[in-house]
C-alpha cells in the first residue's frame, strides 16, 4: 500500500525558510495594496478574490515546505489552479480567458512532466518521502537519472518561464489584477526555482556537469530573449512580464553555475554562485513586485497600460513615480540598490570560476559574464524607456493629464517594497552572509564565512560617497552659488507649437535596438497612404511590428498539428455503438493476450 501521508509531510530546512521569507516579503505588501486596488468592486467579487488570493499564498507556502513528492505535487497543483482563477478573475474580457487558457495548458504540460519524473523516482525509492528519494536516486542508473533531470527541468521551466516555455507569461501577467501579477511574477515563478534547487541539488544528488551547463545556457537565452522583447513592448505590464523572463535567466545563471561548479568539485565557487542566484531571486521578488504594483497604480489612476498614451505622470502622481523609479533603479542594477548587489556577486562568481577552471570552461564562464553585462545594459535602456516615456515630459493623452495620486493603502504597499529594495541593497553586508548560509546548507557544505568583507563595505560606501558629493554640490548651489533660474518652454527649433506629439515615443526610443536585433525580431512595417493627388497625401498611417519568433515558428505550428491530428482521430468516433463495442472487444482481447504472453 502506498503511504501517501508519511511522517515527513513537512520539511523546514533553511532553503524552505528562505522561500517562505520571499513569499512573505511580496505577499504582504501586495495584499495591502489590493485593499485600495479592489475598491469599487462588488463585495462578493472582493470576497472571492480574497479567498483565492489566500488560497494561492497558502498553497505556495505549502509547496516550499512539502516534505514528500506526493504532497509537493498536490500543493503545486493547488497553486496553479488558484493562480489560474486569479488570472481569469476579470472574466468579462475575452483576453483574460485566452490568457488563462494559455496559462492553464502550459502549466499542465509542466505538471505532466513533473508527474512522470516523480513516478520514475518512486519506482526506485518505493516511497514518496524526500529522504527515501535521496536514497533511491543514489541507486538510479545514470541514463534514467538524466531522463528524470530533463523531465523535471521541463516541468519547472514551464512554471518559471524559461525560454522557450515563457509563452504564457506575457499573456497571463498583464491580464491578472496587479497585486496578483506582483505575486505571480515576484514569487510564484520562483517556486519553480525552488523546485530546481530542491531536486537537482539536494535530492538527485551529484549529477553531471552538463546539467549545470544546460541550465546556464537556458539562463543566457532567457536573459537576452526576455530583455529584447521587453525593449520592444510598450504595454507596461507586458514589458514587466518579459523582464521576469530576463530575471529568471539571471537567477538561472547563478543556480546553473552553482550546479556546474559543484560537479566540477569547486565548492567555494558553487556556494558563491548559488548565493548570488538566491540573492537575485529575492531582489527580483522585491523590485518586480514593486514595479507591478506601480503599474497597477497607474492603471487604477489612468486606465492605461499603453505607455505611448502616458507621460507626465511624475507631476500628477509623484509618489507612485518615485516608487517606480526606485524599482527601475533596482532592476537596472544601479548601485547602491539591491539589483546591483546580486548582479555584482554573480560577476564575482563567474570570475572566480574563470580563475579556478581550465580551458574551454574559462571561455564559457566569460561568455556567461558577457551575456549578463549585455543584459544589464539592455535592461537599463528598457527602464529609461519605461520611466522616461510613462512618467516624464508632457502627458500624451487626456487620461494621463487628468490622473490623480492613488489611495493610501496602495501607496503603503508600494512603500513597503521600495524600502525592501533599498534595504537589500545597502544592507547587503547583513543579508549576504544569511543567504550564503542557505546556499551552503543546500549544497551540503560546511558553514564557512564567505568573501563578504567587500560586500558589506562597498554598497554603503558608494551610497555615502554619492550622498556626500551630491550634498556638497546641492548646498553650494543652494547657498553659495545663487544663480537665477528661469522657467521657459522647451526649445522647439523655432516651431512655436511644441506639444506632446513632438515627444520621443517608446517606439522611437527602441528603434535602434529593433534594428540591431532585427535578425531575431524580424521587424516589419505597414504603411498606408491615402492620396488626393500625386503631390498631396491626405492621410498616412504607419505601423511597425516585430515577429514573435517562438509563437510563430514553434507554438503556432504545434497547435496546428494538434488540430490536424484531432481531425484525423475524430474518425474513430463516428457515433456507431457497434463500432464502440468492437473497440472494447479488441482492447480486452489485446490486454488478455499481453497478460498471457508476458
Partner 1 sequence: MDNIIAVIWKTVLLALAAPLVSGVIRKIKNNLRMRKGPTIFQPYLDARKLFLKDEVVSNNASWIFYAAPVIVFASSVCALTMILAAGKAPLMNDGLAILIAALFVLGLGRFFLALAGLDAGSSFGGMGSSREMFISSFAEPAAFIAVFVLCMGGGDGFRISNVLAGFALSMVALAETSRIPVDNRETHLELTMVHEAMVLEYSGRSLALIELASHIKQMAFFTLITFFFIAPAALCPAWPQFAVKIAVIALVFALVEISVAKMRLFRVVDFLTFSFFVALIATIAAGLGL
Q: Which three cell numbers stand for residue 580?
A: 464502440
Among 5, 51, 54, 508, binds partner 1 (CB under 8 A): 508
Minimum distance of partner 1 from residue 343's CB (angstroms): 8
Give yes or no for a contact between 356 and 266, defined as CB atoms under 8 angstroms apart: yes
Minimum distance of partner 1 from residue 228's CB (angstroms): 11
User: Within positions 209 to 238, which residues make up the interface with partner 1, using CB under 8 A?
Assistant: none
User: Within positions 418 to 457, which residues make up the interface with partner 1, using CB under 8 A?
Assistant: 451, 454
Stretch that binds partner 1, among 56-64, 146-154, 358-366, 555-563 (CB under 8 A): 358-366
* Placement of cell 519506482 in the chain: 123
Minimum distance of partner 1 from residue 373's CB (angstroms): 4
Q: Give 200 or 340: the residue with its C-beta nearer to partner 1.
A: 340
Counting every residue, how long is the chain? 598
Among 70, 149, 168, 513, binds partner 1 (CB under 8 A): 513
CA distance 225 to 166: 10
Q: Rule CB under 8 A: is residue 366 a binding residue for partner 1?
A: yes
Q: Which three cell numbers stand for residue 573?
A: 468516433
User: Within positions 3 to 22, which residues make up the interface with partner 1, using CB under 8 A?
Assistant: none
Q: Rule CB under 8 A: is residue 487 a binding residue for partner 1?
A: yes
Look at residue 206 and give its three-state secondary structure.
Answer: coil
Q: Rule CB under 8 A: is residue 305 a binding residue for partner 1?
A: no
Give the closest residue to 19 by CA, choosing from 193, 180, 248, 257: 193
Q: Give 203 or 224: the residue with its C-beta nearer to partner 1.
A: 224
Among 46, 305, 399, 511, binds partner 1 (CB under 8 A): 511
* Placement of cell 504597499 in the chain: 413
User: Within positions 453 to 482, which residues make up the interface with partner 1, using CB under 8 A?
Assistant: 454, 458, 462, 465-466, 469-470, 473-474, 477, 481
Q: Alpha carbon of 512 to those of 41, 276, 380, 505, 508: distances in Å?
A: 43, 32, 15, 13, 8
Minimum distance of partner 1 from residue 117's CB (angstroms): 36
Question: Peptide bond preceding 164: is omega within 30 degrees of 0, i.e. cis?
Answer: yes
Size of the site for partner 1 (CB under 8 A): 77
CA distance 47 to 44: 5
CA distance 434 to 279: 10
Stretch that binds partner 1, among 269-277, 336-344, 552-560, 565-573 (CB under 8 A): 336-344
User: Within positions 376 to 415, which residues make up the interface with partner 1, using CB under 8 A?
Assistant: 376-378, 380-381, 383-385, 387-389, 392-394
CA distance 98 to 170: 12
Q: Rule CB under 8 A: is residue 373 a binding residue for partner 1?
A: yes
Give yes or no for a contact between 340 and 321, defined as CB atoms under 8 angstroms apart: no
Among 44, 142, 359, 494, binds partner 1 (CB under 8 A): 359
CA distance 209 to 361: 11
Amino acid at each position: 500500500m502506498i503511504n501517501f501521508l508519511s511522517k515527513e509531510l513537512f520539511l523546514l530546512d533553511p532553503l524552505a525558510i528562505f522561500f517562505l521569507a520571499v513569499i512573505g516579503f511580496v505577499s504582504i505588501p501586495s495584499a495591502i495594496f489590493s485593499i485600495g486596488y479592489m475598491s469599487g468592486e462588488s463585495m462578493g467579487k472582493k470576497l472571492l478574490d480574497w479567498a483565492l488570493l489566500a488560497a494561492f499564498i497558502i498553497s505556495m507556502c505549502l509547496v516550499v515546505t512539502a516534505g514528500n513528492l506526493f504532497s509537493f505535487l498536490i500543493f503545486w497543483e493547488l497553486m496553479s489552479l488558484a493562480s489560474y482563477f486569479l488570472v481569469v478573475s476579470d472574466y468579462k474580457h475575452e483576453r483574460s480567458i485566452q490568457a488563462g487558457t494559455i496559462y492553464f495548458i502550459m502549466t499542465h504540460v509542466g505538471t505532466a512532466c513533473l508527474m512522470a519524473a516523480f513516478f520514475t523516482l518512486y519506482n526506485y525509492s518505493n516511497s514518496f518521502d524526500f529522504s527515501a528519494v535521496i536514497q533511491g536516486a543514489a541507486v538510479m542508473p545514470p541514463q534514467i537519472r538524466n531522463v528524470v533531470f530533463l523531465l523535471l527541468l521541463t516541468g519547472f521551466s514551464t512554471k518559471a518561464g524559461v525560454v522557450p516555455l515563457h509563452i504564457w507569461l506575457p499573456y497571463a501577467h498583464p491580464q491578472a489584477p496587479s497585486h496578483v501579477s506582483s505575486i505571480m511574477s515576484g514569487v510564484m515563478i520562483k517556486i519553480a526555482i525552488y523546485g530546481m534547487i530542491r531536486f537537482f541539488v539536494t535530492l538527485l544528488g551529484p549529477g553531471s556537469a552538463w546539467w549545470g551547463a544546460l541550465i546556464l545556457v537556458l539562463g543566457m537565452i532567457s536573459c537576452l530573449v526576455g530583455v529584447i522583447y521587453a525593449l520592444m513592448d510598450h504595454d507596461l505590464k507586458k514589458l514587466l512580464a518579459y523582464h521576469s523572463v530576463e530575471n529568471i535567466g539571471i537567477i538561472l545563471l547563478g543556480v546553473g553555475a552553482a550546479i556546474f561548479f559543484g560537479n566540477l568539485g569547486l565548492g567555494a565557487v558553487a556556494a558563491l554562485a548559488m548565493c548570488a542566484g538566491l540573492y537575485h531571486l529575492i531582489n527580483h521578488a522585491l523590485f518586480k513586485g514593486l514595479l507591478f504594483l506601480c503599474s497597477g497604480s497607474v492603471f487604477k489612476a489612468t486606465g492605461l497600460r499603453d505607455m505611448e498614451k502616458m507621460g507626465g505622470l511624475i507631476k500628477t502622481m509623484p509618489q507612485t513615480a518615485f516608487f517606480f523609479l526606485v524599482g527601475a533603479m533596482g532592476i537596472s542594477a544601479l548601485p547602491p540598490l539591491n539589483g546591483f548587489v546580486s548582479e555584482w556577486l554573480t560577476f564575482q562568481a563567474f570570475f572566480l570560476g574563470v580563475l579556478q577552471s581550465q580551458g574551454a570552461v574559462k571561455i564559457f564562464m566569460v561568455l556567461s559574464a558577457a551575456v549578463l553585462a549585455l543584459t544589464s545594459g539592455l535592461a537599463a535602456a528598457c527602464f529609461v524607456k519605461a520611466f522616461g516615456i510613462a512618467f516624464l515630459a508632457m502627458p500624451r493623452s487626456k487620461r494621463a493629464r487628468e490622473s490623480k495620486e492613488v489611495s493610501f493603502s496602495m501607496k503603503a504597499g508600494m512603500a513597503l517594497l521600495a524600502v525592501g529594495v533599498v534595504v537589500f541593497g545597502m544592507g547587503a553586508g547583513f543579508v549576504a552572509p544569511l543567504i550564503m548560509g542557505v546556499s551552503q546548507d543546500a549544497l551540503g557544505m560546511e558553514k564557512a564565512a564567505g568573501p563578504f568583507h567587500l560586500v558589506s563595505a562597498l554598497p554603503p560606501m558608494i551610497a555615502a560617497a554619492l550622498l556626500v558629493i551630491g550634498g556638497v554640490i546641492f548646498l553650494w548651489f543652494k547657498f553659495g552659488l545663487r544663480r537665477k533660474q528661469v522657467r521657459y518652454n522647451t526649445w522647439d527649433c523655432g516651431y512655436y507649437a511644441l506639444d506632446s506629439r513632438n515627444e520621443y515615443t517608446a517606439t522611437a526610443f527602441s528603434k535602434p535596438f529593433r534594428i540591431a536585433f532585427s535578425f531575431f525580431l524580424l521587424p516589419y512595417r505597414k504603411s498606408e497612404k491615402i492620396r488626393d493627388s500625386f503631390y498631396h497625401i491626405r492621410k498616412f498611417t504607419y505601423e511597425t511590428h516585430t515577429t514573435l519568433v517562438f509563437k510563430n515558428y514553434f507554438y503556432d505550428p504545434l497547435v496546428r498539428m494538434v488540430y490536424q491530428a484531432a481531425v484525423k482521430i475524430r474518425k474513430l468516433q463516428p457515433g456507431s455503438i457497434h463500432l464502440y463495442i468492437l473497440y472494447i472487444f479488441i482492447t480486452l482481447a489485446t490486454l488478455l493476450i499481453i497478460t498471457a504472453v508476458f
